[in-house]
Structure 1
Amino acid sequence: MRTRSAIHSLRRLLLLGACGLMLPAVSSAGLKLGLVAPLSGPASSLGEGMREGIEAHFAEINAGGGVHGRQLELLVRDDRYEPLRSAPETRGLIEEEEILASIGNVGTPTAIVTLPLHNRHQTLLYGAFTGAGGLRLAPPDRYVINYRASYVQETAAMVEGLLEAGIRPEELAFFTQNDGYGDAGYAGGISALKAHGFDDAESLPHGRYSRNSRNIHQGLATILQAPVAPRAIIIVGTYGPAADFIREARRDLPDVLFLNVSFVGSQALLDELDDMADGVIITQVVPPIDADLPAVTAYQAALERHARGAEPNFVSLEGYLAAALFVKGLEAAGPDPDREGVIDALLGLGEVDLGLGEPLRLGTGDHQASDGVWPTRIDGGRFEPVDWENLLR
C-alpha cells in the first residue's frame, strides 16, 4: 500500500505536468530547439541548407546517445522569408512548443521582427543566418549569440581587396535588397570606404530591388545612369535576383566585377547563373567545403550519412558548424538545461577548437564566435580563393 506522502508526491508531479510547469524544452523525448526559415519561396535554398546542416549534426549526436542522454529535436517552421509569417511562427515555437532556443533562423528582416519576441520571452536566438549589425550590439544583447562574421566584416574584406586590386573607391556601386538586409550590407560597405578616407561614399550609385521579387531593372538602370561607369558592384541580395541582375548587367558592363555577401547562397547562385557564373566573387563565413580541415571532413561525412544525398554547400556547412558549437554549450549546461543556463554555458565556453584551424571564441563581452571571412571566386563551376593582387591581370 502506498504511504500518504507517496500519494501526495505522485499527485504533485501529475499536477505540475498538467499545468505545464516542468522545465521548458525538457521532456522524455529530449531537448527541443526551433528553426524558423524559408523552406518554400524564392529563398528556400537558404532555409533548406541551414536545416540540412543542423539536422546532420544533431543526427550524429543522437546516434551517439544524445546530450547527457537526451535526444535533440529540431522543430522547423517555414516563414517563406516574410517577416509577417516569421513572427507568429517564432511565437508559437517559444510559447507553445517551449523550445530551449532558436537556432539557425534565416534572414535579417525576419530577425528584426522576431528579436523582440526572443527578448520578451528570454529565449536565445542563436547562430542566425545573417550578418546584420542589429544582432551585434555593443554591449551584446544577452539573448543573441552569433556564429558567423558580420556583413560589416564581409564588405570590409571586399573593399580591402578591391582597393588592393587597383580599383578606386569612386569606381564602386551597390545593388541591394530594399530592406534591413540590404541596408546592413550597404552600411558595411560605406563604413569600410570611409575608413579608407573616402568621404563621398554615399554618392556612389545604389540600385535596389524588393524582397522576394526579381524586379531588378529599376535598380540596374540607377547604376547604368551613373556619371562614372563602375568597375565593381557589391551585391547584397539573394541568389535569384542577384543572378538576374548579373546576367542583365553583363550586357552593358561586360568587364565589371560582381561581388556578393555570403547570404546570397553560393551554390544556388552558381546554379542560377550556370555558364555565366565565372568571375563572380562571394565572401564566405565558413571555410571552403573541400578544405582539408577536421571539422569540414566531419561535416562531409555527416551529410553523406544523414542528409539523404544532399550535396555539400556553404550554407549547410554553416548550419553544421553552428550546431556543433551549440552542442558544446549544451554539454556544458548539464543534464537539465533551461533557457538561461544554456546561454550561461555558451558564454562560458571561452576558446573552442572545432577543427577549423583556429579556435572559436565566446564570452560575456563577445557574442560572435567567428570573425573569419573567406573570399571566393567562381571558376569553372568551383569556388576558388580570390587572389586580389592579380585579380585584374
Structure 2
Amino acid sequence: MRYDILGRSLLALAASALFSFSAHADPGVTDTSIHLGMSSPFSGPNGEYGITMRTGVEAALAEVNAKGGVNGRKITLTALDDGYETERSVANTHKLIENDKVFALIAYYGSSPTTAAMKVFSAAQVPLVGTISGAGTLRDPVNRYMFNLRASYADETAAIVKHLLGIGITNIAVFYQDDGFGKSGLDGVTRTLAEHDLKPSAVAAIARNATDASAAVKTIAAANPQAVVMVTLLKPTAAFVTAMHAAGQQPQFVTLSPIGADLLVKDMGADKARGIGITQVMPYPWNDALPLVRDYRHAIGVVDKTAEPSYYGLEGYVAGRVMIEALKRINGEPTREKLVAALEQAPIDLKGFRVQFTPDNHSGSRFVELTILGRNGQILR
C-alpha cells in the first residue's frame, strides 16, 4: 500500500515536471524573457547596413521592454556579425539556434546568406521575421518559417523599368552583383523589358564585396546607354558611377533599395550622388506625418542619441514591431508554431506600414516608391 502511494506520488511528480517542461518546451523562453537572434554584417564593406538595422531592432525592443515587455516577458537580442558572407551567416544561424538557444530569428541581411541560412532554420523549425532581400528564392515556394517584410526585387525592378519606359528611355543597361541579390534583380529587369519586346543593351557583373568596377564600365560604356539599372550595394555602386562619369558617361543611374540612400550620399558625397534614382520599400523616414515614423524616430533617440533616421533603421524597427505584435497575439505559453500562426492570423497595421501574411503567402508587403537624390544629398520623392 505504501509503495502504491509512493508510486503514485512519483508519477504525479513526473507528470508535473513533464507539464512544466512542456509549458516551456521551446528554447529561448523563460518566465521573464524571450530571446531573439540576428545575423547581419556589422563589419566589412556592408557593415553600416547591419549596424543601422540593428539599431532599429533594438529601438523597437527597448520600446516594448520599457512598458513591461510582452505579457510580462522582456525581449532580448543576440546579434552576430556575418560580414555579408554566406558561410558565416550559416554558421551564425547554427550557433544562435543550437548554442544560444534563441526562440526566433529577426532581421537578417542579404539574398545568398539568408537563402543558405534558410536551410538551417527551416530544418530546426525556427521562424525568421525580416531580411534585407527581395530574392525569389526566399519567396517561392513559400517557406513556413521565412517571413518577408519587404517587396521583392521583381517588384522593385518592374517599377524602375516601367518608369524609364514611361519617360521614353529604352536603351537600358544592367550592372549587377554576381550573387543571389544581383541575379534576382537582373532577372526582374530582363523579364519586364521582355514584356515590351526589349532586352538590356549591355550587362556586366561584379563579384560580391568587390569594388573594382573598371571591367563593367568598359562593357556598359560601349553601349552608350540612356539608363543603367544597378543591382549592387554601396561600394561597387559608388565605384561604378564614379568610373562611368570619368569615362564621360552620363546615363540615368537607378538602383534598388538595399543600397541605402543615406549611406550612398555619405560615401560618394552629395554632388557625385546627385540624380541617382533609388527605389524604396519602406515609408519615408524623415517625415513625422506617419505615426509609425514618429514612433521610430523617438525610439532610436532613446537607444542611441547619435542615431539618424534611415530606411535601413526603419526596416529594422518594423521587423521588431512585427515580431512584437505577433508575440502579443499568442495565447498561453509562446511556442514557435504559435508564432507562425500568429503571423499568419491577420494583417499587422503599424499605422503607416501594413504587413499581411497568409499560409500561402509570406511576402508581407509589395510597397515600392521611387526616390531620387537631390541637392545636398536630400532624398526626394
TM-score (norm 1): 0.89
Deviation of 1:308 (Å): 3.7
Aligned length: 373
From 52, 55, 59, the equivalent of 1:56 is 59
Give the Cα–Cα distance (whole angstroms) in 2 for the partners of residues 6 and 295 of structure 1. 54
Instruction: Summarize the Cα distance change of 1:253–1:29 in structure 2 as closer, same or farther, 3 Å threshold.
Output: farther
> Does structure 2 conserve the Cα–Cα contact (< 8 Å) formed by 1:149 and 1:372?
yes
SS of the aligned residue for 1:376 comes to strand
Rounded to whole Å, the distance in 1 between the matches of 2:334 and 2:195 is: 43
* 1:379 partner letter: G
**Which of 24, 29, 33 does residue 26 from structure 1 map onto?**
29
- Spell out the pairing of 1:181-192 with structure 2 (5 A cutoff): 181-192=181-192
Q: 1:270 to 1:223 in 2, by over 3 A?
A: same
Off by >3 Å, runs of 4+ in structure 1: 3-18
Q: Using the alignment, how far apart are the partners of 2:322 and 2:119 within structure 1?
A: 24
Deviations 1:69-120 (CA, angstroms, capped at 9, x unpaired):
1010111010100111111111111122222221110001101211111111
Aligned-residue offset at 1:240: 1.1
CA distance in 2, matches of 1:17, 1:352: 32
Q: Report 1:7-46 matches (<5 A).
A: 22-46=25-49
Q: Which runs of 5+ in 2 are unaligned?
A: none
- Structure 2 equivalent of residue 232 of structure 1: 227
Matched, 1:76 2:82: no
Q: CA RMSD in A?
A: 2.3
Distance 2:277 2:214 in 1: 21
CA contact (8 A) 1:220 1:249 kept: yes
| Equivalent position of 1:324 in the other structure | 321
Q: Is the 8 A contact 1:108 1:180 kept in 2?
A: yes
Partner deviation per Cα, 1:336-362 (whole Å, 9 max, x = no partner): 21111101110012x232111x63322
> Which amino acid in the other structure matches residue 323 of structure 2?
F
The 3-state SS of whatever aligns with 1:27 is coil
SS at match of 2:108: coil
Report if aligned partners of 1:67, 1:335 keep a CA contact under 8 Å in 2: no
Comparing 143-152 with 362-371, greater Cα deviation is found at 362-371
- Distance in structure 1 (CA, Å) of the matches to 2:360 and 2:20: 37
Alpha-carbon distance in structure 1 between the residues aligned to 2:250 and 2:216: 19
Q: What amino acid is aligned across from residue 103 of structure 1 in structure 2?
A: I
TM-score by length of 2: 0.92
Conserved 8 A contact 1:24-1:339: no
Residue 146 (structure 2) aligned to one of 144, 148, 172: 144
Deviation at 1:204, TM superposition (A): 2.9
Q: How is 1:366-381 mapped onto 2 (pairs within 5 angstroms)? A: 366-380=361-375, 381=377
Q: Look up the SS of the partner of 1:196 in the other structure.
A: coil
Shift of 1:375: 0.8
1:183 maps to a residue whose letter is: K
Evaluate the alpha carbon distance shift between residue 90 and residue 17 of structure 1 in structure 2; reply closer, same or farther with a 3 A threshold: farther
User: Separation in 1 of the partners of 2:30 and 2:212?
Assistant: 47
Letter in 2 for 1:222: T
1:266 corresponds to 2:261:
yes
Report if aligned partners of 2:176, 2:232 keep a CA contact under 8 Å in 1: yes
Instruction: Write out per-residue CA displacement over residues 163-194 of structure 1, whole angstroms, 9 at most, x where no aligned residue.
Output: 111101xx101111111111011111111112
* 1-structure distance, mates of 2:110, 2:363: 17
